[in-house]
Structure 1
Amino acid sequence: MINVANRLKNVEEYYFSKKLREVAFLKSQGKPIINLGIGSPDLEPPFKATMLLRDSLDDVGANKYQSYQGLPALRDEIANFYKSRYKVSLSGQTEVLPLLGSKEGIMHISMAFLNKGDQVLVPNPGYPSYAAVAKLVEAEPILYDLNEDNHWLPDFIALERMALSKVKIMWINYPHMPTGTNAPNKFYDEVIAFGKRHNILIVNDNPYSFVLNEKPISIMRYRDAKDVCLELNSLSKTFNMAGWRVGMLVGKFDYLNAVLKVKSNMDSGMFYGIQKGAIEALKCSDMWFVSLNSVYELRRELIWKLADALNCTYETDASGMFVWAKIPPHIKSEEYTDLILKEHSIFIAPGTVFGSNGEGYIRFSLCAPEEVIKEAISRVK
């Protein structure tokens, strides 16, 4: 057996990759599993986007390699989207970099800015890939606490007390996954000032802006943001295009150019038809967002009923496509979700997937039809 690289010794397989194998096995044994654990949109993408993808297959050069920076029309449409939806002015040609999904951006940014031994501030709870990717590039993830008492926001006084000389990147993510918390304006001013004081690149991961959220915010809207910030975004949740793998990175040209040096050695561009479909999706009117959120509002009401039936409590003002709920005391999160899976054949994500501060919580996904959620409620009751 040839030994694997040392960098894999401290990195585990993604929780959902492992758990979905278990769920698939249970289904193969005839178990009627209801999956409320994964945030994979089940709704259709915009019709015009799908039609553009199909029609573009006949375009000359559609099947050739594409630019590493994406079609100029796609970059311009992303800039238009930021202008109309976030009130942020960007140059489509110098401040926008399309990605094969925003998840690859986490790796590309890390490879572009981190050296071995550098440190990275990672939210706890937060998206597991932030810490995993830091380890893969031989940097050190430093967890910073988020908790319910502080409304799932960083404590900047506590952060200032930390040794920060080795910190190169700070990951933030609002609306927050998994809790759904929105950050106030004051937070963005504080985190930008924090980044400037300590020469830390602040990266805002922002894929949930338009799901059950009345006031979408980009960190790029705030003063001096381009000096120390990058923002990841995605069409996966906003336009139900998760499998298309269309994301974007926006920010200062110098920062994007560093990321492009990595990206151009990792892929050969985004498929032409997907780019054409993405351009059309970004042009969607207000009615698209109203329609999308009307579906999620109904589903969320049902998930709240399911949470009630499981004796969980939750906040009703959260955004995004999940419900973050506190479980009954005296039981661990993973024990509770395993019990629900065993007794009711319902898969829900334990809060500890997202960090130790997720203990005592579980996360429900809204990516299931109403009738499926109603069936889950009936099983529990």
Structure 2
Amino acid sequence: MKPANRLAFIKEYYFSKKLQEIREMQHNGIEVINLGIGSPDLPPPFDAVAQMQLAAKQEKAHQYQSYRGVDELREAFANFYKRNFQVDVNAHAEILPLLGSKEGVMHISMAFLNEGDEVLIPNPSYPTYTSVTKLVGAKPVFYELKEAQGWQPNFQELEQQDLSKVKMMWLNYPHMPTGAKAGKNVFHDAIKFAQKHHILLVNDNPYSFILNDQPDSLLAYPEAKEVGLELNSLSKTFNMAGWRVGAVLGSKENLQSILKVKSNMDSGMFLPIQLGAAVALNENEDWFKNLDFIYQNRKTKLLELVQKLGCQLEERALVGLFVWAKIPSGYKSSEEFSEHILQTHHLFAAPGTVFGSAGEGYIRFSLCVDEATIEKAIKRVEA
């Protein structure tokens, strides 16, 4: 059977294919240390798991649930935003829980993009922004982020382009894969830019609480809800990647459009997951301090490994779950260097080109492995 034409414009997700290759190596007796995937290995909050287990015993726990999510979860998201971002969000009208924020990338695109619309996408960035844009028949238009400019968008350059067909713009701060935080005026300038050109602005914000003492939100800025949406997730902040729970926040009108798509795509989120997630969102500051303590120790070790591999690091402090570094001189491409350390040291790290052409010359390492494993990787390189 011939597949749909839309599949001709996208490839299998890089990590899906690469992880299969790594599994085959391990099946053949080669122990590969995977430093490429941002899937937290630490446990979720104990009380969130306990609440999920308790909720699973409720009489109606296993029935279909509301497409809008239960009150407890939406209210927990509202309290989380108020407490951590000083943002007031109406729990009943301005929050829509999702089966992970990756689902939100698709739902938002389906709700607002027509065939032929253009979408401004950062380069480098999360590959799903591009693939989903193509899947819905829209056109990716990349705006390049540069290390020399702190991986920030250049709105003056964007103003010189033909923006007549642009319908949406993706932001992602703290930025993946580089770890850059939004500059002082980025969200303010982005809102003004979106207002001027009638563009829907979407900030994907899952990394604000990893090694970051100043979390920020697009919605904290005046008039943001008029032109903007924000995606958030419990995957990284609370080590709940496999639970598949996140949310999109924004105006009632915009969320109603997304709900039209979502309500035709799933039948609600498992109730125990929602109630467990609500408990996680109410964790206190100690949760974040303990998480950062672990990640900072891992990062110190990982930086040692990265330097032993001959990679160069940025001087500025970067946040999030990854270390982004320049590959050593002498290699033709990021993929060549990534393949070299995989075959030579049995270490996997993601080549920067996975995230766009502007990622050429860089490689990304994950903090989602324990210190002992990073130490083992260091010894392999030293040997």
TM-score normalised by the chain length of structure 2:
0.99
Deviations 1:55-88 (A, max 9, x none): 1111120000000000011101100000001000
- Equivalent-residue separation in structure 2 for 1:73 and 1:158 (angstroms): 44
Residue equivalent to 1:347? 348
Deviations 1:181-215 (A, max 9, x none): 00123111100000000000000000000000010
Mapping of residues 145-294 of structure 1, within 5 Å: 145-294=144-293
Deviations 1:81-103 (A, max 9, x none): 00001000000000000000000
Counterpart amino acid of residue 256 in structure 2:
N
- Equivalent-residue separation in structure 2 for 1:57 and 1:38 (angstroms): 30
- Equivalent-residue separation in structure 1 for 2:248 and 2:329 (angstroms): 41
- Equivalent-residue separation in structure 2 for 1:168 and 1:292 (angstroms): 38
Counterpart amino acid of residue 379 in structure 1:
R
- Equivalent-residue separation in structure 1 for 2:140 and 2:373 (angstroms): 38
Residue equivalent to 2:140? 141
After TM superposition, the structure 1 stretch with the greater mean CA deviation from structure 2, 179-188 or 243-252, is 179-188
Residue equivalent to 1:115? 114
Residue equivalent to 2:323? 323
Counterpart amino acid of residue 43 in structure 2:
E
Q: Percent identity?
A: 55
Deviations 1:1-52 (A, max 9, x none): x111100001000000000000000000000100000000000000000000
Residue equivalent to 1:7? 6
Residue equivalent to 2:308? 309
- Secondary structure (helix, strand or coil) at the match of 1:185 reads coil
- Equivalent-residue separation in structure 2 for 1:350 and 1:11 (angstroms): 19
Residue equivalent to 1:100? 99
- Secondary structure (helix, strand or coil) at the match of 1:169 reads strand
Counterpart amino acid of residue 90 in structure 2:
S
- Secondary structure (helix, strand or coil) at the match of 2:69 reads coil
Mapping of residues 10-159 of structure 1, within 5 Å: 10-159=9-158
Work out whether residues 313 and 327 of structure 1, in 8 Å CA contact, stay in contact via their aligned partners in 2: yes
Work out whether residues 117 and 165 of structure 2, in 8 Å CA contact, stay in contact via their aligned partners in 1: yes
Residue equivalent to 1:359? 360
Work out whether residues 152 and 183 of structure 2, in 8 Å CA contact, stay in contact via their aligned partners in 1: no
TM-score normalised by the chain length of structure 1:
0.99
Deviations 1:108-150 (A, max 9, x none): 0000000000000011000000000000001000111001011
Work out whether residues 329 and 360 of structure 1, in 8 Å CA contact, stay in contact via their aligned partners in 2: no
Counterpart amino acid of residue 18 in structure 1:
K
Counterpart amino acid of residue 352 in structure 1:
T
Runs in 1 of length 4+ with deviation above 3 angstroms? none
Q: Which runs of 5+ in 2 are unaligned?
A: none
Aligned length: 380
Shift of 1:328: 1.4
- Equivalent-residue separation in structure 1 for 2:89 and 2:213 (angstroms): 22
Name the Cα RMSD after superposition: 0.6
Shift of 1:155: 0.9
